[in-house]
C-alpha cells in the first residue's frame, strides 16, 4: 500500500520544486533587468513572478494533502533557502537602485535651480585654424 502512495508524493513534490526553480530563474531575470535599466523586462519579470507564486501556492496545497516524506520536505527546504538568499540579493539591488535614483533626483533639482553659467568673454575662445 505504501508503494502506491509514494509515486503520488514524488509527483506532488516535483511540482513545487520546479516552481521554486522557475521562481529563482525569474528572480535572476529581474536582477538582470534592474542592472540593465530595462523597465519593460522588469515589469514582465514581476508579472511572471506573480504567476509563479500563484502556481507554487497551488502546488504546495496539493503536496500538503499528499503527506510528503522527509526527503521531499528536505529538498523543498533547501530550494526555499536558496530562493530566500537570492531574494535578499535582489532586495539589496533594488534598495541600491532606489538610493541611486534619489541621489540623481537630488542632483537634478539642485541644477534645475542653479543659475545658468554665462560665457566669459575674457576667456580666449577655441577655434580651428589651419
Does the pLDDT value for residue 129 go beyond 50?
no
- Per-residue pLDDT reduced to its tens digit, 81-128: 999 999 998 888 888 888 887 888 888 877 777 665 565 555 444 444
If you write DSSP's letter for every residue of 57-94 in order, what string do you get? HHHHHHHHHT---HHHHHHHHHHHHHHHHHHHHHHHHH
Residue 102's pLDDT is 80
- Per-residue pLDDT reduced to its tens digit, 40-89: 999 999 999 999 999 999 998 888 887 778 888 888 899 999 999 999 98
Residue 123's pLDDT is 47
- Per-residue pLDDT reduced to its tens digit, 9-40: 556 678 889 999 999 999 999 999 988 888 89
64 vs 12, 17, 21, 35, CA distance in Å? 9, 13, 19, 37
Amino acid at each position: 500500500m505504501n508503494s502506491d502512495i509514494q509515486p503520488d508524493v514524488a509527483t506532488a513534490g516535483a511540482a513545487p520544486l520546479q516552481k521554486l526553480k522557475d521562481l529563482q530563474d525569474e528572480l535572476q531575470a529581474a536582477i538582470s533587468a534592474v542592472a540593465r535599466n530595462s523597465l519593460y523586462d522588469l515589469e514582465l519579470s514581476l508579472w511572471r513572478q506573480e504567476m509563479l507564486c500563484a502556481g507554487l501556492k497551488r502546488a504546495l496545497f496539493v503536496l500538503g494533502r499528499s503527506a510528503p516524506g522527509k526527503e521531499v520536505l528536505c529538498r523543498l527546504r533547501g530550494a526555499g533557502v536558496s530562493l530566500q538568499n537570492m531574494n535578499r540579493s535582489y532586495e539589496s539591488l533594488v534598495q541600491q537602485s532606489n538610493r541611486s535614483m534619489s541621489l540623481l533626483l537630488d542632483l537634478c533639482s539642485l541644477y534645475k535651480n542653479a543659475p545658468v553659467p554665462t560665457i566669459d568673454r575674457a576667456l580666449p575662445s577655441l577655434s580651428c585654424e589651419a
